[in-house]
C-alpha cells in the first residue's frame, strides 16, 4: 500500500510539475485518463446481414470510436468522437454511401443523457480530405449546433488558428480537454495529427496505421513524420491510432486491397515505437521513398 501511495504521489507531482516527462516514474498508468480498446473488431462478416453500419466502441465515457462496416465500404475507416465540457469533436465522417449522422447523433444523445445536459456544440473535422474520410460531411452539417471544417489546408489552418502551416502546431480546447493540432501533409495536403492530452492518444489518420501508408509527397511526408517524432518526444503516448486496419496479425503480411472480411486483422493501436520505426525507415531512404514492408505497416509510395 505504501509503495502504491508514493507512486501515485510521484505521478501527481510529475503531472503538475513536469508534464513533459517522457516516462512515468512508476508503472501506474502515467496519470492519463485510461480507456479500453476491443481485442478485435468485427465490422464485416462472415455474414453482412448481421452487421450494423457502424461498430461503436466506448473507449471511456468521453471518447467513442466508430468503425464503418466493410459491408458498407471496404475501407472500413475509423471515426473518433471526443467530448469536452463545452464541445464535442468528430474526427472524420466515413466512406461511400454512409448514414453516419444518426449514428453520431445517437452517441451524442446518450452522452447528453448521462451528463444531464440538453445540448452540446459539435465540431466536425478531418484527419485529411480523402473521400473515405469525408463522405458523411453533408449529412452531419444538417445536425443542430454543428460546424463542419472544410477539408482543405486553408480552412483547417484558419479554424485551428495555425499560423505557420505546416511547421507550427496549435491547440484547440473542447472545454477542460486540450487537443494539440499538428499539420502533417504528405499523405494528403490537409493531413493533421491530433494529440489528446487527456488520454495521451495520438491520432495519426492515414499517415501511420497498421496497413499501407500511401506516400503522395515524399519530402512533405518525411518532414511530417519527423515533426511528429519531435512533437511526441518527452510526452506520454498511450496509443497511436490511425484510421484503417489493413495488416493481418501475421508480421509483414497485409490483406489485399479491397478485402471486406478480415477475421485475423492487426489491432488498431500502435505506439510511439512504430512512429520511430517509420521515421528511421524514411530517413534511411534519403528522399528516394520506395515500397518497404515492416512488421506492422508498409511504406507505399504513390506513383
Ligand atoms: Zn487517405
Ligand atoms: Zn483512408
Which residue ranges form the domains of the chain, and what is each CATH number?
35-301 (3.60.15.10)
Q: What is the CA(144)–ligand 1 centre distance, in A?
A: 28
Provide the total of helices (H) and of strands (E) in the chain, helices listed first.
Answer: 6, 14
The whole-number pLDDT of residue 48 equals 87
Q: What is the CA(75)–ligand 2 centre distance, in A?
A: 7
**What's the start-to-end Cα distance of the chain, in Å?**
59
Give 10-residue mean pLDDT values along the chain (303 residues). Answer: 41 43 84 96 83 94 97 96 98 96 98 98 98 98 98 98 97 98 98 98 98 98 98 97 98 96 96 98 94 98 92
The whole-number pLDDT of residue 14 equals 43
Ligand closest to CA 185: 1
- Long-range contacts from 57-63, C-beta under 8 angstroms, 24+ separation: 59/35, 59/199, 60/33, 60/34, 60/35, 60/36, 60/199, 61/111, 61/114, 62/33, 62/111, 62/177, 62/198, 63/35, 63/196, 63/199, 63/201
The whole-number pLDDT of residue 43 equals 76
Q: What is the CA(187)–ligand 1 centre distance, in A?
A: 6
Cell of 249: 496479425
Q: Rounded to an integer, what distance in angstroms lies between the CA atom of residue 181 and that of residue 227? A: 12
Ligand closest to CA 92: 2
Q: Rounded to an integer, what distance in angstroms lies between the CA atom of residue 132 and that of residue 300? A: 18
Decide: 245 and 265 in contact? Cβ < 8 Å: yes
By C-alpha distance, which of 296, 270, 266, 271 is closest to 281? 296
The whole-number pLDDT of residue 2 equals 39
Q: What is the CA(54)–ligand 1 centre distance, in A?
A: 19
The whole-number pLDDT of residue 22 equals 65
The whole-number pLDDT of residue 165 equals 97
Q: What is the CA(259)–ligand 2 centre distance, in A?
A: 14
Q: What is the CA(133)–ligand 1 centre distance, in A?
A: 7
Decide: 223 and 190 in contact? Cβ < 8 Å: no
Predicted TM-score (pTM) above 0.95:
no
Q: What is the CA(128)–ligand 2 centre distance, in A?
A: 8
The whole-number pLDDT of residue 15 equals 45
Q: What is the CA(15)–ligand 2 centre distance, in A?
A: 35
Amino acid at each position: 500500500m505504501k509503495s502504491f501511495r508514493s507512486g501515485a504521489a510521484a505521478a501527481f507531482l510529475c503531472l503538475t510539475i513536469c508534464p513533459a516527462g517522457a516516462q512515468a516514474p512508476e508503472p501506474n498508468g502515467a496519470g492519463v485518463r485510461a480507456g479500453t480498446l476491443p481485442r478485435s473488431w468485427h465490422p464485416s462478416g462472415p455474414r453482412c446481414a448481421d452487421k450494423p453500419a457502424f461498430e461503436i466502441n466506448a473507449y471511456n465515457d468521453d471518447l467513442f470510436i466508430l468503425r464503418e462496416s466493410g459491408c458498407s465500404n471496404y475501407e472500413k475507416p475509423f471515426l473518433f468522437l471526443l467530448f469536452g465540457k463545452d464541445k464535442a469533436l468528430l474526427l472524420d465522417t466515413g466512406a461511400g454511401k454512409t448514414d453516419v449522422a444518426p449514428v453520431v447523433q445517437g452517441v451524442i444523445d446518450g452522452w447528453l443523457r448521462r451528463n444531464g445536459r440538453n445540448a452540446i456544440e459539435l465540431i466536425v473535422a478531418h484527419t485529411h480530405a480523402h473521400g473515405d474520410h469525408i463522405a458523411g460531411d453533408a449529412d452531419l452539417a444538417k445536425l443542430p449546433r454543428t460546424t463542419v471544417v472544410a477539408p482543405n489546408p486553408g480552412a483547417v489552418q484558419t479554424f485551428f488558428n495555425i499560423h505557420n502551416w505546416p511547421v507550427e502546431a496549435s491547440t484547440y480546447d473542447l472545454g477542460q480537454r486540450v487537443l494539440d493540432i499538428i499539420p502533417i501533409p504528405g499523405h494528403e495536403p490537409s493531413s493533421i495529427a491530433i494529440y489528446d492530452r487527456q488520454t495521451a492518444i495520438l491520432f495519426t489518420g492515414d499517415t501511420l496505421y497498421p496497413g499501407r501508408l500511401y506516400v503522395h509527397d515524399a519530402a512533405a511526408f518525411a518532414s511530417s513524420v519527423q515533426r511528429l517524432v519531435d512533437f511526441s518526444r518527452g510526452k506520454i503516448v498511450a496509443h497511436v491510432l490511425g484510421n484503417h486496419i489493413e495488416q493481418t496479425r501475421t508480421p509483414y503480411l497485409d490483406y489485399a486491397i479491397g478485402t471486406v472480411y478480415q477475421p485475423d486483422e492487426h489491432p488498431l493501436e500502435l505506439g510511439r515505437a512504430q512512429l520511430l520505426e517509420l521515421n528511421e525507415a524514411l530517413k534511411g531512404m534519403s528522399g528516394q521513398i520506395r515500397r518497404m514492408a515492416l512488421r506492422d505497416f508498409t511504406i507505399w509510395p504513390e506513383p
